Amino acid sequence: MAESNKMKEMPVNKLMVQMGIPMILSMALQAVYNIVDSAFVGNMRSGSEAALNALTLVFPVQMLMVAVGIGTGVGTNALLARTLGQGNGKKAAKVAGNSLFLGVIIYAVCLLFGFFGVRAYISSQTIDPEVISMGTDYLRICCVISFGIIFFSLFEKLLQATGRSLYSTIGQVVGAVVNIILDPIMIYGIGPVPEMGVKGAAYATVIGQVASAILLFVFHMKLNKEIEHDVKYMKPDSGIIKEIYAIGLPAIIAQALMSIMVYVMNLILKFSPSAQTAYGLFYKVQQFVLFLAFGLRDAITPIIAFAYGMRSKKRIQDGIRYGLLYTIVLMIPGIAITEFFPGAFATLFNAGQSREYFIEAMRIISISFLFAGINVAYQGIYQALDGGIESLVISLLRQLIIILPLAGIFSVFVRNGQMGVSLIWWAFPITEVISCLAGYVFLKRIRKNKIDVLN
């Protein structure tokens, strides 16, 4: 079945499974980058505790780079899918070309930060000179060679918008395999490669990202025949850019809020480097679970957006129904694994003094995964139906308005030992439940205003 016919005619439940599985695998493998780095770094011969802390502190900036790339891609994805659904090939070419122009601008900003802003950023979270040195080395490499992750994010969304999610997964698998192979070689020094420690982890990550970006560029040029490929379409068009960010800006802010949340949580937990490291390690495990929901969201958005372009009420409603159902199914095993096997993850990371904090964080915060997954699905639905504001509000509730004041208030009760820190972890489930209730109200309003009015 042709890709365009598949988006129009295949039953939505089957289409979501067919598109969703590759995207879920793709996002899971993206989370593997960070887990693999931390696992290998945690088992370095010397300096592993400082190295794990350094990776925790650099993580928000890594997330921010991904946020801008993926957010721009989300806007491109939804707009391109809708434009193709309307049969407007000329505009589709401009949407794709302008997204690549935006990728060049994003990389230029990351490059400048890599040269001039990294050390000041790391120093704001710690006074340990070893952690500052390791964090600066790692983050500078990731920023200077960030074009891999930026253009991977864009080409991934261009392929997903035309229903070719399998090929984006192939690119992600290749990058993950390259990263996993290079990590021990470059961190520990194997064969002719010298031991590079934390720098080796950074180089392994960016080389994997560049490999993925190159492969997806080839797939895009050869397979996306619905889109005309020409450099002239990269000429900036203010109308197209505005439409991309009308959808994508809330997604960028949503992802950026994750970076802000992690950064502020690092500051709240600054009283205990062990608790700080435990939170950073847990967040990478949490990403692995929630990225399953993000992957499914990346199937939900183009399917509903395409149906919205067709003005097919039934396909939109099916997209919402199956999107929420499949998200709940994905979250249940994620909760079970993190509740029953936190010790195994602590051993994988060689968590050391952070072990008890890490295990308790997993058992408390993982309660929130079900509600967090539903919130992610809500945001994909909103984005497909031009509900960028609703998506933004949910993100603000989850990652700023509720969570940070709660964690800050709970941190006042921290005394000696672990007791007070466990109270901070409870801020996460409380936040997700409240946000989920707000998300349900927004969904009812969008149904009434944008779906029920369709003929």
Average pLDDT over residues 390-394: 88
Per domain, the residue ranges of the chain are 9-236, 251-454
Contacts of 106 (CB under 8 A, 6+ apart): 65, 68, 69, 72, 150
Q: What is the mean pLDDT of the chain?
A: 88
Q: What is the pLDDT of residue 182?
A: 94
Q: What is the pLDDT of residue 1?
A: 46
Q: Return the CA Rg of the chain.
A: 21
**Is the pLDDT at 391 greater than 90, yes or no?**
no
Kindly indicate the confidence band of residue 194, based on its pLDDT and cuts at 50, 70 and 90. Answer: very high
pLDDT tens, residue by residue, 302-353: 899 888 888 889 999 999 999 999 999 999 999 999 999 999 988 888 877 8
Q: What is the pLDDT of residue 25?
A: 78
Amino acid in the structure at residue 309: G
Average pLDDT over residues 204-213: 94
**Is the pLDDT at 419 greater than 70, yes or no?**
no
Q: What is the pLDDT of residue 3?
A: 54
Q: What is the pLDDT of residue 181?
A: 92
Average pLDDT over residues 174-202: 91
